[in-house]
Amino acid sequence: MAKTLYDKLWDSHVVEQREDGTALIYIDRHLIHEVTSPQAFEGLRLAGRKPWRLDANLSMPDHNVSTDTAERAQGMDGIVDPTSRLQVKTLDDNVRAFNIPGYAMDDPRQGIVHVVGPEQGATLPGMTVVCGDSHTSTHGAFAALAHGIGTSEVEHALATQCLVQKKMKNMLVRVEGELGPGVTAKDLVLAVIGEIGTAGGTGCAIEFAGSSITSLSMEGRMTVCNMAIEAGARSGLIAVDEKTIEYFKGRPMAPGEEHWQQAVTAWRELVSDDGAHFDRVVEIDGSAIKPQVSWGNSPEMVLPVDALVPDPALEQDETRREAIERALEYMGLTAGQAITDIQLDRVFIGSCTNSRIEDIRAAANVVRGNKVAPTVKQAMVVAGSGLVKAQAEQEGLDQVFTAAGFEWREPGCSMCLAMNADKLGEGEHCASTSNRNFEGRQGFGGRTHLVSPEMAAAAAIHGHFVNVQDVIQER
């Protein structure tokens, strides 16, 4: 029978199928960070259990680390907030006590788990990948079955190398057509979420397919799968093609020469068969997508940059109308206001959604030779990993940003969720390349607008949103 990519990944990891409809699923890779793991390690200790298989785990601190270069140079002491410091130290202590492999805060390979995993080849096609973080869906870009888990499942994965799961439904999002100039993977996925809603993929693994998807780089595909969770799907998936295979050549944890051909042969099977059944199919015209900006407090509250902020009076559905009204109040926006009239206080380029080398290059191309608008209090670039940062510096991109007035920071999750010192003040508007615009996400009372790196860079220069397509055309 014809199988979807998800069916294949599921079938190849069933350890035991149970009569009650659940299955014990084997986990090939478990990524660990400091926020969702302390209680899991404590659980192991209390039960007298040991990790099942050490080499399947990879740990690193990312949420709480300081991105300030001077603070970072002081190591653990440089983390000013004692609760953040304790959490990072607890991870250090736990991985040492249990012998878990990983990168400490001062390791040049440290970074955001979802950037570092693929970068090191710790994520590979055909794997099951879990992490106590909802953006684990990122790794599906490599045809890995990847999803976020809570702390109880972190403990379960550590103790058994398995999870008890029920199979999800198959959903296909097919995006066809050439993306316009200045339109990125971020705009594509925001447009998809705007179309299907934040619960559009609930209960499903979403496979993204079509020419708009296959034309993306691996970095772009990671951005798309990263935000599958914002459409309600725990997992996003993209089939293996030549780009996928090429990506892993020479990665430290990728198969070496002795297994390379065998691995590639297996990886080429990781595509949905012709005629495979999807429970739901959504078709989107990629060529019609414009640069996107979120205006409200849910990722589905997103519009093309040339649109106007919606008027709740025009919304028929009561729940939605109330949500729009609440969002306009929280965001300090008025119905009918042009998106391009939204003035920005801060700009954040970073997060597991958009902090890879390609994102930084794209933003630098917009920034080069310009200055951050004087009305913008802070514009920062936070590379996703130490290696991304080093690569960007080798290309002189740090100079492009600092010359324009951007801050060039050390790798970490940073202002995406503001667990460290990087946060918005009350009422401040931020053009952010991150993934969530929930109330308070980037700081108490902070107002987040989700955009692509190019759009964030252009907004930093102009002090308000502009259509990056116009900026590109002027060149």
Nearer to other proteins, 121 or 405 (CB): 121
Query: Please, what is the Cα angle at 292 between 289 and 298, to 5 degrees?
Result: 120
- The answer to whether residues 449 and 313 touch, using CB atoms and an 8 Å cutoff, is no
Q: How far is the CB of 251 from other proteins (least distance, A)?
A: 11
Q: Could you tell me the two tokens for 10?
A: 């599921």
Name the one residue in this structure whose structure tokens are 């492009």: 400
Nearer to other proteins, 36 or 272 (CB): 36
The residue type found at 297 is: N
- The answer to whether residues 350 and 75 touch, using CB atoms and an 8 Å cutoff, is no
The residue type found at 229 is: I
Which position among 112, 127, 222, 357 is part of the footprint of other proteins (CB under 8 A)?
Answer: 127
3-state secondary structure of 446: coil
Which position among 47, 80, 97, 338 is part of the footprint of other proteins (CB under 8 A)?
Answer: 47
Which position among 67, 110, 134, 433 is part of the footprint of other proteins (CB under 8 A)?
Answer: 134
Residues 6 or more apart whose CB falls under 8 angstroms from that of 275 comprise: 2
Contacts to other proteins from residues 177-216, by CB under 8 A: 198-199, 202-203
Alpha-helix runs per DSSP H in 347-452: 357-367, 386-394, 397-404
Instruction: Write the DSSP symbol of residue 410.
Output: -
Which position among 2, 15, 288, 338 is part of the footprint of other proteins (CB under 8 A)?
Answer: 15
Q: How far is the CB of 389 from other proteins (least distance, A)?
A: 24
Residue 428 binds to other proteins (criterion: CB under 8 A): no
Calculate the alpha carbon distances from 116 to 89, 333, 460 in Å: 20, 37, 27
The residue range among 42-50, 214-222, 374-382, 390-398 that interacts with other proteins, by the rule CB under 8 A, is 42-50
Sign of CA dihedral 424, 444, 442, 324: negative
Question: What is the CB-side half-sphere exposure of residue 394 using CA atoms within 13 A?
Answer: 7
Q: What are the φ and ψ backbone dihedral angles of 229, each rounded to 5 degrees? A: -65, -30
Nearer to other proteins, 124 or 183 (CB): 124
Which position among 111, 220, 232, 453 is part of the footprint of other proteins (CB under 8 A)?
Answer: 232
Contacts to other proteins from residues 329-368, by CB under 8 A: none
Which position among 1, 77, 83, 250 is part of the footprint of other proteins (CB under 8 A)?
Answer: 83
Residue 436 binds to other proteins (criterion: CB under 8 A): yes
Which position among 99, 152, 334, 402 is part of the footprint of other proteins (CB under 8 A)?
Answer: 152
Which position among 8, 33, 72, 156 is part of the footprint of other proteins (CB under 8 A)?
Answer: 156
Q: How far is the CB of 255 from other proteins (least distance, A)?
A: 4
Q: How far is the CB of 314 from other proteins (least distance, A)?
A: 18
Residue 36 binds to other proteins (criterion: CB under 8 A): yes
Name the one residue in this structure whose structure tokens are 């297994």: 259
Nearer to other proteins, 260 or 399 (CB): 260
The residue range among 76-84, 284-292, 335-343, 459-467 that interacts with other proteins, by the rule CB under 8 A, is 76-84
Other beta carbons less than 10 A from residue 247's beta carbon: 20
Question: How many residues sit in the footprint of other proteins (CB under 8 A)?
Answer: 83
Calculate the alpha carbon distances from 416 to 87, 407, 455 in Å: 18, 16, 16
Binding mask 50-69 for other proteins (x = CB under 8 A): --xx-x-------xx-----
Which position among 7, 62, 119, 155 is part of the footprint of other proteins (CB under 8 A)?
Answer: 155
The residue type found at 356 is: R
Contacts to other proteins from residues 364-423, by CB under 8 A: 417-419
Residue 153 binds to other proteins (criterion: CB under 8 A): yes
Q: How far is the CB of 83 from other proteins (least distance, A)?
A: 4
29 vs 13: CA distance, rounded Å:
12
300 vs 194: CA distance, rounded Å:
4
Which position among 57, 59, 66, 161 is part of the footprint of other proteins (CB under 8 A)?
Answer: 161
Q: Could you tell me the two tokens for 467?
A: 């259509």
Name the one residue in this structure whose structure tokens are 């965001």: 331
Contacts to other proteins from residues 261-300, by CB under 8 A: 262-263, 266, 298
Name the one residue in this structure whose structure tokens are 């794209």: 362
- The answer to whether residues 293 and 469 touch, using CB atoms and an 8 Å cutoff, is no
Query: Please, what is the Cα angle at 378 between 377 and 382, to 5 degrees?
Result: 170
Q: How far is the CB of 332 from other proteins (least distance, A)?
A: 16
Q: How far is the CB of 122 from other proteins (least distance, A)?
A: 10
Nearer to other proteins, 292 or 437 (CB): 437
276 vs 351: CA distance, rounded Å:
34
Residue 249 binds to other proteins (criterion: CB under 8 A): no
Nearer to other proteins, 152 or 473 (CB): 152
